[in-house]
Structure formats: structure tokens, C-alpha cells
Amino acid sequence: MAEQAPVEHDYLVVGAGSAGSVVVRRLLDRGHSVHVVEAGPADDDERVHSPQGWPLLFQSELDWAAMTVPQRHANDRTLFWPRGKVLGGSSSLNGMIYIRGHRGDYDAWAYSGCPGWDWDSVLPLFKRSEDHVDGESDWHGEGGPLPVSRITDPHPTTTAFVEAAVALGHEPTDDFNGERMTGVGLNHATIRDGRRMSAWQSFVAPVLGRSGHPKLTVTTGARVHRVLLDGGRAIGVEYAAGGALRQAYATAEVVLSAGVIGSAQTLLLSGIGPAGHLREVGVDVTADLSGVGENLHDHLLVSNVYEASRPLPPGKANLLEGQLYTSTDPRRSGPDLQPLFLHLVYPAESYPVPEHGYTIAPGIVRPQSRGTLRLASGDPEAAPLLDPNVLAERYDLEALVDAVELCREIGGQAAFDGWRKAEVAPGPEARTRDDLRAYVRRAVGTYHHQVGTCRMGQDALSVVDPDLRVYGVEGLRVADASIMPSIPSGNTNAPSIMIGEKAADLLLAAS
């Protein structure tokens, strides 16, 4: 898409991902003019639209392919973080699983200083987005922009996974977004007619038409360097595109929806952040906001890999068809483990990769470790320093080991007898809990659900208030996963879309 002349719009949205796409659509629906500035290209790569294309997108030109700093509690390894660099953002790169999280996640947000974000308040926003295949119900919406489907023809190994978990006593469920989140079953997915339905494709593409939308300007291939401020108010952004620096302006508000990395990095480059850190990297301080870049955390995952006794048939859905929600302690109010099944080999770092196989991926969804995002320098093109500080808290390590033990029990059930040849990771030599702790440190990775660097709240480390306004700067809001005070106990795409819905309501109420 061609870069447009720098004219003022009502709103300027930085990032066309899960939340940004929603904000754009809802503002357009109310007659406002919008300029969306996206670092990546248009989403015209067929790998984006195929539900089975996501592994091919990792480390491609459509992936920011972020890397953490060495993780001292994980054998000093650097972790790979795929992040979408394309219209749709990470919703064009993810596994298309539609999970909202537990009601307690959102009630905790409200209790900790974010009124209006409790479960009863956000459930209608989730439902408003949805066009669920089941239709309207207490738990789902119909007629919204976002298609949500069921997996109706699962892979035979996915069926084996569900049967194995049920044999161990886990309750089957047909809806992780229904009344009871715990149990084992098939995922709901943002897929329709065999095509990925990213946030951009769901919310914005349908209103573009052949010649675009008269009130929407889309600038792709544009990397935002900083927010432009005038007297303490955000009036636009400066961005690099086509080898030149350009400016874009908004008469109403600027919305950062650049993700957990991009939004925090943009604030810091704009001089909005911890004053001491900004001075260290040579950035002039415009607002001393100590919480920017703090509270970085993520769901953690490892790979319990099995070599198959025969080649697996191809799947028909998203390669991530089934999962289990359960708890390390039955007294918990909600699940803290989310083992995921993949009918492919999702390699465990430094372990062998069998030609034919499948993966039961132990995962934790209530991590306690917290890390930071910092600028490496004042250069807007330099990658920031990402330190999630994984496994720093004892609970995270022990819960992940619990998840590994559970997944090995599932993998050893009779339901897999027709498929299982041998366990490859952690492998038969891993017998004791200490062995599994070593395996976790050696192979821990990510669910690709990073959140928290522009935390919402009312304390000294909060970056945005409950209306998503950046403290100390007028006319500037953040709307993406970076505002999450704590990560929901599920995949973060659906909650990010909900944040976009909430942000749009807040913007429209103030207009």
C-alpha cells in the first residue's frame, strides 16, 4: 500500500495487530478518520492465510524474530520470540487458538486497581467481537466481525491425546470459554472456510472494498520512531518509511497498539519512561514514568517430544487442535497448567528431532517471574533488550516440572500405543525430579504470549490508567497486551482483541 501524504486524521493508531485492528474498525464505524501506521507489509502472503502455515512464518520477513538476553535461570540461553510484522500483527502469525482466560484473571485486574475490567464487564466485549459457529448464547456472540469455529475433524493423534487425558481422570469439555474452563478437549479457532481470520482480516478488510475506505489511511512498511509531543500532549508520531523520516498527525488522540515490545519501546524512545534509564541511553526525558518496560512476563512452555512409530497423516485444522487445563493444586480458583498437543514435532532445544513425531507441550499459565524491557541505545532501529527473567521464581520451575510429569503420564497411556515409538525429550534417561528440572532449564521456551510492559493500574509503576491513558501525557493511550497487569490464563489473542474493543469504547466516549 502506498504511503499517503501527511495530513491530519482524527485518530492515529500505531500497529495493525490484534487490538489495533479492532480500534480502527470501531472508530471507522462511528465516522471518524483514522491513520494506521504499520511496520510490516500487507498480509498478501499465502502462508498467513493457511491455518497450517504458521510454522513457516517464524523467522520469516513477516516476523520481528525477537530474541531475549541470556536467561540466567535457563542455562544462559537466549529465547526466540516470534512477533508478527504484517497487517494483523501476531494474529497473522499465531496458532489461531481462541481462549479468553479465566474469569478470575479479570476480576483480579479490577481488584488490583482497574475498575471496569472485571469479568462481568469484559464478557460483553468478548461476545461483541464474536461470530461464533454455535450462535448466540450466554457465553458466545453472533454477528460480530471475528469468526470463531470448532475443530470438527481432529487429527487421530489429537483424539488419542484427549482419550489419554480422560483415562487419567480429566473431565472432557467442548468449550474452554464456557462455564467451566478446566478439562481436556478441542480448541475453538479463529478460522473460517479453511482460512485464518486475523484481526485485520476480520475487522478491517471487510470495510475496505476495492478502493479502500474513504476515512482510512493505511501506511505499511513504516517504523515509528517516537511520539510527537506539543506542550505535554501527543499530536502525532515520527516514523521511517521509504528511506525518509515522516510525520503523521492526529487531532483527537494517538493510540499505541504496537504490542508488548513496540509500545513500550516507542514510549521510551519518546522520552516517556524511567528517567535514569533514558539518560543512560541518551534520550531526553519528557515524562518520568518508572513503570515503562517493567512487568514483562510470558507463559512458559517446553516440548515433551515423541518419535512416532509411523508417519502421521496430514491434519486439517491449525496443527494445535487439543489442550488440557488443570491445576497444580485443586484448591486453586482456576487452572495454572495448559498442556497443548501438536500433531507435529515442535523441537525441544538441544534435543534430537525425529522425522516423524508429535508433541505434548507442558505449559504454565500463571507465571510469577517478572522481567524488563530496556533500550539498548537511543537508536530507534536498534532492538531493545528483552529480559523476561524466566524461571526466576521457584513456583514457575516447579509448576513446569509438574506439567512435564503430567504430560509424560498422558503420553504413556494406551491411547497412544498405536503411535508411540519412543520419548525423545526429555527422554528415558530423565528419571528424577532433579532430571526434569535440568530438562526444563535446558529446553524452556515460550507460548509466545508476552504481556505487561505498559501495565494498567493506579500505583507508582503503572503506565496507563484504567482508561488506558498514559500517565503524564495527554492525548496518548496504549491498547494491546502490554497493558495487562497480569497475564490471563490462556492464549492472549482473544484478550488483546477485547482490549481493542474496550479501548474503542473509551475513545468514543471521550470524543
Instruction: Show the cell assigned to 147.
Output: 469468526
CA distances, 431 to each of 272, 396, 411 (Å): 50, 20, 15
Please indicate if the annotation marks 447 as binding a ligand: yes
Helix axes 18-29, 493-510, angle to 10 degrees: 30
Q: Which residues contact 98 (CB under 8 A, 6 or more apart)?
A: 148, 177, 187, 188, 189, 190, 491, 493, 494
Which residue bears the cell 481436556?
A: 184
Residue holding cell 480500534? 23
C-alpha triplet 472, 477, 478: angle, nearest 5°: 115
SS3 216: strand
The continuous run of DSSP H or E covering 192 comes out as strand 191-192
- Return the sign of the alpha-carbon dihedral for residues 284, 290, 292, 297: positive
Provide the 10 A C-beta neighbour count for residue 313: 10
Q: Strands 244-256, 8-14: parallel, antiparallel or unpaired by DSSP?
A: parallel
DSSP 347: P
113: exposed, middle or buried (Cβ count in 10 Å: 0-12, 13-18, 19+): middle
Which residues does the annotation mark as catalytic? 449
Cα dihedral value 376, 387, 118, 95, nearest 10: 100
Tell me the H-state helices in 61-173. 103-111, 119-129, 156-167
Which grid coordinates are listed for 10? 482524527
Annotated binding-site members for substrate: 447
What are the binding residues for FAD? 86, 224
